[in-house]
Structure 1
Amino acid sequence: MALTSTYTVSGMTCEHCVAAVTSELKAVDGVSDVSVDLVPGGNSTVSVTSSTEVSPEAVAEALDEAGDYRLVTS
């Protein structure tokens, strides 16, 4: 059964950002799909579909690997 979690991410401004974030998140164990609703200059919405629960820490680490992107937690 697939699980989908939605995260708010800051720092994304263009399609290159979307590609970088998508690539890093898809490399996380269990992640099968990533969907991004880009809001240039604002907070974007990132949905992660996975076979197992992905921790917010794993998402934050993948965002850091992708570039200067941050998980918005509040």
Structure 2
Amino acid sequence: MTAPTTGSIETVEAVYTVEGMTCAHCVGAVTAEVGALSTVSEVAVDLASGRVRVVSGEPLADVAVAEAVEEAGYRLVPTPVEPAAEAGGCCGGSCH
């Protein structure tokens, strides 16, 4: 998903799910490794959901993020697509 920021600079935002994080140390390790990727400008880790939101100045290769997460000692897992994000809303538009 691409979201424009202030001015003419655009950023790319992606959300990943990380398996194995259990504490603040885990959050710090993932934040540091993913944040070290050259184009990453922001990393937000939600320990409760295991989700990691990454903001970058250009599209990120999922493999680069996966390698950074593995370097921190964790594993990137596929993030399911929300049904509402597919076609037409919460039920594909059939309830409207």
Instruction: Work out whether the TM-score is over 0.5.
Output: yes
CA RMSD of aligned residues (A): 1.1
Larger proportion of strand: 1
Question: Which position in structure 2 is the counterpart of 1:9?
Answer: 18
Which structure has the larger Rg?
2
Structure number with greater CO (CA < 8 Å, separation at least 6) is 1
- Partners of 1:65 and 1:9 lie apart in 2 by 12
Residue 73 of structure 1 and its aligned partner are, at CA, apart by: 1.6
Please state if 1:61 is matched with 2:70: no
For 2:55, give the aligned amino acid: T
Runs of 4+ aligned residues of structure 1 deviating over 2 Å after TM superposition are: none
CA contact (8 A) 2:43 2:53 kept: yes
SS in structure 2 at match of 1:2: strand
Structure 1: give runs of 5+ residues left out of the alignment. Answer: none
Structure showing the higher helix proportion among its residues: 1
Shift of 1:55: 1.0
1:70 aligns with 2:61: no
Q: Give 5+ residue unaligned stretches, structure 2.
A: 1-9, 80-96
Query: How far did residue 27 of structure 1 move?
Result: 0.7
Q: Percent identity?
A: 51
Name the structure 1 match of 2:28: 19
- Deviation digits for residues 24-72 of structure 1 (CA, Å, limit 9, x no counterpart): 0011110000001112xxx5010000001111100110011111x1111
